[in-house]
Structure 1
Amino acid sequence: MANSSSPEAPIPVGKVSALIGGWVDRLGAVWVEGQITQLSRRPGMQFLTLRDPDKDISLGVTCYRSVFEPVADVLQEGSRILVYAKPEWYTPRGTLSLRATEIRLVGLGELLARLEQLKHRLAGEGLFAMDRKKPLPFLPQCVGLITGRASAAERDVLEVARRRWPAVRFEVRNVLVQGAQAASQVAAAVRQLDEHPEVDVIVVARGGGSVEDLLPFSDEQLLRTVAAAATPVVSAIGHEPDQPLLDFVADLRASTPTDAAKRVVPDVGEEQTRVRQLRDRARRTVIGLVEREQHGLAGVRSRPVLAAPQRLVEERAQELTALLDRSRRSLGHRLDRAESDLGHTLARVVALSPAATLERGYAVLQRSDGTVLTDPAQAAAGERLHARVAGGGLSVTVEEVDPVDPVDSVGEGIVAADA
């Protein structure tokens, strides 16, 4: 470029910028360390300003959201970071920037970023989901305790738990709680206690410490072991501000080992008080129920039908007696009327009967074959007839047939005969 330019034939600015851009494009990606002085979050590309802490020099850094997302929660202005980036030259403005493909925090920041990435990945797999967490038993008969040997955490858990419930038993596994072997030993102890037939709940306890000291309790293999355990696991690591990833995977997070003992084992005094309260409440409920039932029963018994149950029978008996009397009177009246009607009918029958006629002095003449004579012409002189009168019968002989005018002597034409 120098050989092809002169005062008489200068190179335009645009061409110089393009030549610089071509040279920059041939550069490879490099690791760059710096401090964030400006952070601009955008929906797509992210923009950072990276400054050299020892010199007053800054460079702009751009990256895609996918590169920025894993460390987004821990990045802030003032953070020291490492970026793996390729230099880029923006020809229209003639500015140099870095296009990052990976971002790491320096020192502790880098460690926290890795933990944050692991946290996002495990959360995406559902290991932190609330619906997979198992409930703790109300009164565990045996508690598995994983902690350091002769540690304050072990002493706190044992003393507090036995003070709250003296009958509780422990299966203690002393392991390393710091260092390179700690995570594997804790995971092995979790598997061993999970297979123990008498252990109802497992407590992983450790006192407070730095982020580096608590790293074993964010180990991925340990986290997956705890997630696969069939026995409920309680995480009691560090103090309240400390929160290793085990807290998210465990079925219950306790703020301290002492808090774990309180959460796992009930207090015998509190339970006795609760039992007494429940018993008193149950007694009051039963007494109230009995009193209500007694009051209701007394109300029912005070009703006339139960106060004098024979009254109902007496009333029905009176009604029955009245109905019987009524039926008797009705039947008597009917019989009387029937008797009267019968008397009248009998009188009419008697009055109309032949016997009544005979009693008035009439007689019935019959031939020997039983036929009744109704006309004198039916009889012959000298014929013997049977005469029937009111008192009996007699035989008569016809001496003479004397026809009589029926108008003048009704029924008397057959009486002129001698006995």
Structure 2
Amino acid sequence: MDSSFSADAAFPPNAESARASHAPGQQGAASPHDAAAPRSSPAQLPEKAGETTPENPWPLSKLSHALHGYVQKAPAAWVEGQVIEVNQRARVCYVTLRDLQEEASVNVTLFQKEMARLERPLEQGSRVVVSLKADFYVKTGRLSMLGRDIRPVGLGDLLERLERLRRALADEGLFDPARKKPLPVLPHRVGLITGRNSDAEKDVVRNATNRWPGVQFEIREVPVQGAGSARAVIGALEELDRMAEVDVIVIARGGGAFEDLLSFSDEALLRAVFAADTPVVSAIGHENDQPLLDHVADVRASTPTDAGKRIVPDVQDERLRLSQARSALDRAVGTMIEREQQGLATVRSRPVLAQPDGMILVREEDLDRWRTRAWSAASSLTLRAQDSVAQMRARVRALSPQQTLDRGYAVVQTPDGSVLTDATRAEVGQWLTVRLASGELGVDVTGTSTRRPGEH
């Protein structure tokens, strides 16, 4: 007990004023005189509880009065809870309240005037807010809670709270579609969180198994209503999320009243679903039931039956799609082969492949024609060149000195070999050589003359 309890509390008139005790410093059994001797007088009692000792204790009544005074100083507190038991007496009503999330309960005493303010009697399962004031009863040492004011939590109040929470979570991005994880195409193992032996469990398992017989389930049965249900769902969710073999998690519950589904709008549960690495499917209630979990979950199923259809594909549909895909593939391959065959036939029908030697024959004819043209051109050029050479030879011959000599002319040369063209350059008695068309003559100059041919 707190050591601040003081000794100024009043004592009842018949309170004991002495206690038997051992003498200080002695050990072993006390003597009869020591046992009968008083320990201390009221004036010598410790002021605080922390100062009491086995040799100098408080009377029990002092502790009770100190506790009563200490509890009376505690202020009243408004709390919210769920009524789980109502015991109506003549002028007093005893109510047991349970916490909405954890396993904690307290007994509340309500007097007739407080109950008279209620518009309707309290019922089990009702959610209320009540002002509680702690009271310690000295005679019995019993701590009780007195209810000074009690108010039912109406549907409007709950809806207002949920709307505030919805707006706050939406502003944080917990409802953002871009952050939602896609479901696996074919999950090998499905985690299922549902109530014990519930119809929701049967609907999910039956519909999923009918659609895909090979699917396996990892089922966690937890309370899905009342105090502690949200915490239980969170524990199961975290356990399944840690299992690597679980590909998708389904949280399922059947329909119920609005208050029955409040656990699935719990803020802690919503944040746990948002933080999970495994995709989460919400399958709570019916189509019209929309707890906040539907907005945070990666996929919302209208009912547990719908969840069983969403998490796995239909084996019949997949077989039909596979057959259709196989048929489409066969048609595509057949069409491609037929088209390629037609293209190959078209290529083979071309002259270059139908008569491959035709191209060679055409080229052979071209080669013969080009050879003939080349031979003709070369022959023509040769003939023209021969004619040119003959003409040039004739011109050269016509212009050669020998041709002149052949016509009867002669070339006179001096002894030094130079041609004599002027008679005045010759001297009488000079030896000259006369070259004829055939042969030479040696002559002596007997005289010279400047007469030109044709002159007399």
Structure 1 residue 138: Cα displacement: 0.3
Instruction: Note the 1:121-132 alignment, pairs <5 A.
Output: 121-132=168-179
Residue 265 of structure 2 corresponds to 218
Residue 52 of structure 2 corresponds to none
Structure 1 residue 319: Cα displacement: 4.1
Structure 1 residue 271: Cα displacement: 1.3
- Contact 2:224 2:233 survives alignment (8 Å): yes
Structure 1 residue 182: Cα displacement: 0.8
Residue 397 of structure 1 corresponds to 443
Residue 202 of structure 2 corresponds to 155
1:128 alignment partner AA = F
Residue 326 of structure 1 corresponds to 373
Counterpart among 207, 217, 221 of residue 170 in structure 1: 217
Structure 1 residue 243: Cα displacement: 2.4
Structure 1 residue 142: Cα displacement: 1.7
Find the residue that maps to 1:234 and give its secondary structure. Answer: strand
Asked if residue 407 in structure 1 is aligned to residue 434 in structure 2, the reply is: no
Structure 1 residue 185: Cα displacement: 0.4
Measured against aligned partners, the alpha-carbon deviations of 1:130-156 in whole angstroms (never above 9, x if no partner) come to: 222211010112211111233222233
Structure 1 residue 280: Cα displacement: 1.7
1:165 alignment partner AA = W
1:195 alignment partner AA = R
1:332 alignment partner AA = S
Tell me the distance in 2 between the aligned counterparts of 1:105 and 1:181: 21
Tell me the distance in 2 between the aligned counterparts of 1:121 and 1:402: 151
2:394 alignment partner AA = A
Tell me the distance in 1 between the aligned counterparts of 2:239 and 2:218: 10
Measured against aligned partners, the alpha-carbon deviations of 1:86-118 in whole angstroms (never above 9, x if no partner) come to: xxxxxxxxxxxxxxxxxx997444434433443
Instruction: Note the 1:5-24 alignment, pairs <5 A.
Output: none
2:282 alignment partner AA = S
Asked if residue 208 in structure 1 is aligned to residue 208 in structure 2, the reply is: no
The alignment's C-alpha RMSD in Å is 3.0
Tell me the distance in 1 between the aligned counterparts of 2:276 and 2:167: 21
Residue 278 of structure 1 corresponds to 325
Distance 1:378 1:148, change over 3 A: same
Residue 281 of structure 2 corresponds to 234
Find the residue that maps to 2:260 and give its secondary structure. Answer: coil
TM-score when scaled to structure 1?
Answer: 0.65
Tell me the distance in 2 between the aligned counterparts of 1:166 and 1:219: 34
- Contact 2:226 2:260 survives alignment (8 Å): yes
- Contact 2:405 2:436 survives alignment (8 Å): yes
Counterpart among 245, 248, 254 of residue 292 in structure 2: 245
Instruction: Note the 1:311-350 alignment, pairs <5 A.
Output: 311-312=358-359, 314-350=361-397
Structure 1 residue 180: Cα displacement: 0.4
Distance 1:380 1:121, change over 3 A: closer
Structure 1 residue 307: Cα displacement: 4.7
Tell me the distance in 2 between the aligned counterparts of 1:286 and 1:342: 78
The number of residue pairs the alignment matches comes to: 308
Q: Provide structure 2 residue ranges, at least 5 long, that are not aligned to the other structure.
A: 1-118, 120-150
1:185 alignment partner AA = A
Residue 291 of structure 1 corresponds to 338
Tell me the distance in 1 between the aligned counterparts of 2:420 and 2:172: 137
TM-score when scaled to structure 2?
Answer: 0.60
2:332 alignment partner AA = T
Distance 1:392 1:105, change over 3 A: farther
Residue 259 of structure 1 corresponds to 306
Residue 193 of structure 1 corresponds to 240
> Comparing 380-389 with 146-155, which one deviates more in the overlay?
380-389
Find the residue that maps to 1:150 and give its secondary structure. Answer: coil
2:254 alignment partner AA = G
Find the residue that maps to 1:214 and give its secondary structure. Answer: helix
Structure 1 residue 306: Cα displacement: 5.3
Instruction: Give aligned-pair identity as a percent.
Output: 55
Residue 133 of structure 1 corresponds to 180
Tell me the distance in 1 between the aligned counterparts of 2:169 and 2:427: 151
Distance 1:256 1:127, change over 3 A: same
1:260 alignment partner AA = A
1:401 alignment partner AA = G
- Contact 1:205 1:235 survives alignment (8 Å): yes
Residue 352 of structure 1 corresponds to 399
Residue 370 of structure 1 corresponds to 417
- Contact 1:206 1:237 survives alignment (8 Å): yes
- Contact 1:235 1:254 survives alignment (8 Å): yes
1:247 alignment partner AA = D
1:118 alignment partner AA = L
Find the residue that maps to 1:170 and give its secondary structure. Answer: strand
Residue 379 of structure 1 corresponds to 426
Q: Provide structure 1 residue ranges, at least 5 long, that are not aligned to the other structure.
A: 1-53, 55-103, 410-419
Distance 1:128 1:105, change over 3 A: farther
Distance 1:390 1:126, change over 3 A: same
Counterpart among 200, 207, 230 of residue 183 in structure 1: 230
2:296 alignment partner AA = V
